A and B are shown apart, each in its own frame.
Chain A
Amino acid sequence: MTTALPSTEVLPAAVKDETTTSYAKRKLSSPWASLAALVIAILWTLPTFGLLVSSFRPERAIKTTGWWTFFSDPQVTLDNYKAVLDSEEGAGLGSFFINSIVISIPSVLIPLTLATIAAYAFAWIKFPGRNLLFLVIFALQIVPLQVTLIPLLTLYVDAGLANTFWTIWLSHSIFGLPLAIYLLHNFMREIPATLLEAARVDGAGHVAIFFRVLLPLLRPALAAFGIFQFLWVWNDLLVALTFAGGGDAVAPITVALANLSGTRGTAWHLLSAGAFVSIIVPVTIFLFLQRYFVRGLLAGSVKG
């Protein structure tokens, strides 16, 4: 069941046997191939590494010498992180970090729950208009967010919700729904109907069937979409700028960082530390939940 997501066939499988290892040895023997791989790996790592090193260097050192001098003249400090988190005299990123958390959790839970219920209806209940409605929701995946922002903002202002968390929660939930329904529906269709029939014969209703039969099987799909949606919301700038750009009280860390980069583009001691404060959450998820993370990202790559 763990491979029922449409995109999971593309997950790396650890297949190893005699022929592949001998093939690998032959390929490794080409020094040019190894060199090319090494060059790409370095190019992809060095920019992040440079900023990470800088975030621990004293402000003066960052501004006058390149980060590579760190290795001949190592000076380590946590002052940049203190300065960027502190709201008294620094950039006050701490409270924006909290905002990001407050924004992200409901923005994952709401679409995940609603999409599960909707996908259940599409997958297991027969009703008139089912195919047409599903096709419409599938098609809505391709609508670019930009098309919806201004009228949606007007609706929020009219409803008196402007510059509250509600606007961001609702928006991310709405934008996440089509993809979530599509993915979960595909996943649910893979579950053998006999399992549900058996439960129904035992007299279980929809809710009981869902919690007892489907939920345990759905866990990988829910995890994949949940992680994808969390990263999407956490890393989002456009939705946050549109609906919370005016008020610091509800803006997430990406907005604060983008503003900091706009107003103090050369304050590298703040920018470097700030960038890593914002990166730490998604990277931690990446390191610990790599399997679901990859699956979620691949499944949701067309969104937005």
Chain B
Amino acid sequence: MLTADTNAGKIGLMIAAILLFAAVVGIILFIATLFRGRLADRFTAYIYLAPTLIMLAVGLVYPGVRTIYQSFFNAAGDAFIGLGNYETIFTDNEQLTVLRNTVIWVVLTPFVATAIGMLYAILVDKTKFESLAKALVFLPMAISFVGASIIWSFVYAYRPDQANVKQIGLLNQVVVWLGGTPQQWLLTDWLNTFLLIVVLIWIQAGFAMTVLSAAIKAIPEDIIEAARLDGVGPWGMFRFVTLPAIRPAVVVVLTTIAIGTLKVFDIVRTMTGGQFNTSVIANEFYSQSFRSDNQGLGAALAVLLFILVIPIVVYNIRQLKRSEAL
């Protein structure tokens, strides 16, 4: 009856699941009303929190601890090998390429995306077309990484360089128009990683622009006016008025994009599958865990990801606290 075999069955299943969930919530809310007396509030709170705490304990805390434990075991997960997997990550040639690529991603993406977003936010600020202009750059945020990867794969598309064959990818066509030879962009080591990074920059610049644009608009008008009366030019205005004022927002944007970049998986998997030396940690985690059946190495890569996120988050929180204290 309610099986995932037909479309109607799937929707029926979904409705049944929602009703079941609603019943559970109803029961929780009802049980909470049964308590009376001095400690009633306390019980109510625990009952309200129970489903959440159980789900987080089983679905986040336990798996996290389990993965850390697993990262000290071999591929099959049956022999303890200490830090062996971590040693592999930092010595194996293939894994070193993965680390190299991840560093390139995390260094380039946040700064370029933020710079473009900031520049664009300043350029379109208070112009007639501001909302339309911003919507155009923000729209890629709505598109899935898979969709964005297909959009850009098409830009990079390559057709054999023969007399009667025309290029269908925009990039190669531009190269041809400029008198060059078309390239198999995604197969060229080093360059391909940069071309994949372009996709994430394309997605994240809209985020940077939106946050920074709001920060720019929050700068008090009288400060700008005073600087202008002092004869400060556009560059001086940016350097001494805008940038110091939006610094906290810039830090948040940089760290947020950096965290997102560390976990980038969809783009690499869809566009190259991690081949041609384009793999990054998050993609390598997936390949090792599910394709190569190397549970231990996969777990170690996941843990490494976790470890790399922590300092960025700590820095972010510190900066937020500092700007709140001001």
Interfacial residues of chain B within 269-315, with CB under 8 A of chain A in the complex? 269-270, 273, 282, 285-286, 289-290, 295, 298-299, 301-303, 305-306, 309-310, 313
Whether B64 and A143, one on each chain, are in contact in the complex, defined by CB atoms closer than 8 angstroms, is yes
Q: How far is the CB of A230 from chain B (nearest CB, A)?
A: 11
Q: Please give, as numbers and ranges, the residues of chain B lying within 8 Å of A275 by CB-CB distance.
A: 146-147, 150-151
Is B144's CB under 8 angstroms from A235's CB? yes
Contact B126 A67 (CB under 8 A): no
Number of A-B contacts (CB under 8 A): 344
Contact present for A27 and B49 (CB under 8 Å):
no
Min Cβ gap A120→B in Å is 7
Shortest distance in angstroms between B315's beta carbon and chain A's nearest beta carbon?
12
Q: Does B236 contact A (CB under 8 A)?
A: no
* Residues of the B chain whose Cβ atoms lie less than 8 Å from the Cβ of A201: none
Residue B214 lies at the interface, judged by CB distance under 8 Å to chain A? yes
On chain A, the residues within 8 Å of B135 by CB distance are: 290
Report chain A residues within 8 Å CB of B228.
Answer: 23
Give Cα A50–Cα B286 distance, bound, in whole angstroms. 31
B127 touches A28 (CB 8 A): yes
> A117 — nearest CB in chain B belongs to which residue?
B48
Is the Cβ of B310 less than 8 Å from the Cβ of A265? no
Q: Which residues of A contact B79 (CB under 8 A)?
A: none
Contact yes or no, A206 B25, CB < 8 A: no
Give chain A residues whose Cβ lies under 8 Å from the Cβ of B218.
9-10, 13
Known: A234-B144, A261-B153. A147 touches B136 (CB 8 A): no
What separation, in Å, do the CA atoms of A298 and B228 have in the docked complex? Answer: 32
Contact in complex: B202, A47 (CB < 8 Å): yes
Residues of B within 8 A of A17 (CB): 221
- In the bound complex, CA of A275 to CA of B303 (Å): 33
> Are A41's CB and B133's CB within 8 A?
yes
The answer to whether A36 and B56 have CB atoms under 8 Å apart is no
Subset of 6 A-B contacts with CB under 8 Å: A27-B127, A48-B151, A68-B170, A148-B64, A151-B66, A242-B290
Instruction: Give the top 10 A-B pairs by smallest Cβ distance, nearest first.
Output: A174-B59, A235-B144, A151-B63, A10-B214, A148-B63, A151-B66, A37-B123, A24-B126, A121-B48, A146-B302
